[in-house]
Chain A
Amino acid sequence: MPSVASAPFQFRTRLTLTKLTGRQAADLPQLVGHLRAVPLSVVFHHTHHFLVQHLHLSPEPPNDFAFWVTNVLQEDQLGEQLAAIDTVGFATLAALRDRIVAVIEAYLEQSRSLREAPPGEEFHFRDGISFVLPTAYRVRTLEEFAEALRAVGAATIAYHLFEARLRLGADDNDFSRWLEQALGEREAAAAIRRLDPYTFTMEGLRRRLIELVAPGPAGRGAR
């Protein structure tokens, strides 16, 4: 395979304008009721936007639902179950939504007393308009790719790694696909596919990605 790709990799980013839906929940039955009814873009917002907005929290709760249930309702067991949902394993938002609803409903069936959020700390369902736009980074070699990884914003990494599977299927992402198809870097592509990006902080994830692709002392050559 060539060391210079004929098809360049264009790094893109996703910026979000947050919309208010007017829906709010003060307890679990309300949460699950709204969850069933909201557009899937709302589910996307609360499971993906969270990561970019709360960079410092990851690898703690990977979605807004887990965070609210744990920290506001203080239903620790359910919070843990929601945090443990393998977001990366779902190829569609509908399937992800079904799983979140099923986990909450199973908990509701076995729980006798349920807590209510204190006034002012209700869960507000939000929607988002996503704007996907090209960044200044367009690369053709592994070295340029690693260099760009150092420079791009967190939203760019999230877009190509977290959100890509909703476009490409559960097992793939933009980085692995290009590395394999354009540069023949099967090993790096496979290693990136094996990552569970939800268990890293965004900066930790960036470092790991650079380690997996960068030649030289800080990267693959050092392993």
Chain B
Amino acid sequence: MTVGLDDYEPFVGRGTLDELRLLGKALHGRRVQHVNSTAVGGGVAEILTRLVPLLRELGVETRWDVIHGGEEFFAVTKKLHNALHGQPLVFDARDAEVMRETTAENLRSLDLGPDIVFIHDPQPVELVAGAPRGSRWLWRCHIDVSAPAPSAWEFLQPWVERYRAAVFSAPQFARPLSIDQVLIAPSIDPLTEKNRELDAATIAKVVTGLGIDPERPLVTQVSRFDRLKDPLGVIEAYRLVRRYNDCQLLLVGGSATDDPEGSQVLAECRAAAADDPDVHVVELPPTANLEINALQRASTVIVQKSLREGFGLTVAEALWKGKPVVAGAVGGIPLQVTHRYSGILTHTIEGCAYWLKQLLNAPEFARRLGENGREHVRNNFLMTRHLRDYMLLFLSLDHPGESLVRLG
């Protein structure tokens, strides 16, 4: 299905699309090139797949290129990624050499000519070595670099500071830098399989297929089986709730076959669920977007009890479906959930249980949280807002140092 800008009108209204078209007019003929490290798989490629055609529709000449590298390069960039996330790894001179070699090869093969070059994530960061003086290069950081391993940050920082601006997803992910830093949150797409409206029959089929009783309350956490998502804490909270409330618990996440720790956490969850028929621990393939959508829509309350989180877009997905959410106050979650207005922020297992009971016992309050959450996502976390922010960022390059820009 080819998605066009007009397809978003039912969700955001004509006014928002008019604004985007005005911005497109202001950028008309400008050439933008995105560069990242993968064409498929992962959130960055997923977002670019949708954004690039929409930018073109708006009159911005947009290209998307992918860097190439061998196994050794991607092993090094994986290490860099983990070290930037705070794992105690040492990024050494040999690693830097591998990065440099692959960057040099890509600089020879890529045509980096347009007005604005938008580099995504650390893998292609060194391409800025090929930027002509005065050119407009932007670096988009999709990961949390708030507490990196020192050697990794010492490697990255001088490269990042050669860009005109760096873009982060949440304020706390940013670092002290000598260049401008911009906040652009990621987004969800209301037209994808994971988020589109579903009919009752489709939802019922998925729910009953997993042995879940559609007539009784369902508390769900959608996430990888990862200790940082605290699935065992969710089971504990559920047990506290069950002393007073009837409900079922569903922990559902992507397949963990290539992740030894994931398999272990999954096994621990199954052991903790033991013989409770109301606890469903379900592993689904990464392509099960429709199933995840249906399960979110079938839930009474959605939990995202993360102990550490990137942006946590599963929260926006749940809110978009009008669901009350109980979530850990970490990473990008506080941007999405305003406590007691558009969801609940918790810090402990007991707190999570307390709010679950409140929401199960006060459906009217829960409904209002869900409605507010959906409106908050509509205004702040849909693809169209993402598109708007990128276009504003491109326009801002024409107005350095200005805090008010008049267009048209």
Contacts and interface: CB of A to CB of B under 8 A. Distances in A.
Kindly name the residue among A53, A67, A129 whose own CB sees the greatest number of chain B CB atoms within 10 A: A129
A41 B403 contact: yes
A60 B340 CA distance: 12
A134 interface: yes
Contact of A132 (B379, B399, B404): B404
Given A19-B180, A129-B396, A129-B402, A153 B19 contact: yes
A15 B391 CA distance: 11
Interface in A131-189: 131-136, 151-154, 156
Contacts of A124: 171-172
Contacts of B340: 71
Contacts of B174: 20, 22
A124 B182 CA distance: 13
Contacts, number: 113
Contact-residue size bin, chain B (C-beta under 8 Å from the other chain): 35 or more
Contact of A152 (B15, B172, B393, B404): B15
Nearest to A67: B338
Contact of A15 (B172, B334, B392): B392
Contacts of B184: 18
A88 to B, nearest CB: 21
Interface stretch (A97-105, A115-123, A210-218): A115-123
Nearest to B12: A153
A156 B14 CA distance: 13
B82 interface: no
B183 interface: yes
Given A22-B176, A132-B405, A153-B19, A120 B330 contact: yes
Interface residues of A, number: 41
A122 B329 CA distance: 11
Contacts of B389: 17
A59 B269 CA distance: 43
B404 A121 contact: no
B183 A19 contact: yes
11 contacts: A15-B19, A15-B388, A19-B181, A24-B171, A54-B341, A55-B375, A56-B376, A120-B331, A133-B26, A154-B379, A156-B15
Interface of A: 13, 15-20, 22, 24, 39, 41, 52-57, 60, 67, 71, 118, 120-122, 124, 126-136, 151-154, 156
Interface of B: 13-16, 18-19, 22-23, 26, 168, 171-172, 174, 176-177, 180-184, 329-331, 334, 338-342, 347, 372, 375-376, 379-380, 388-389, 392-393, 395-396, 399, 402-408
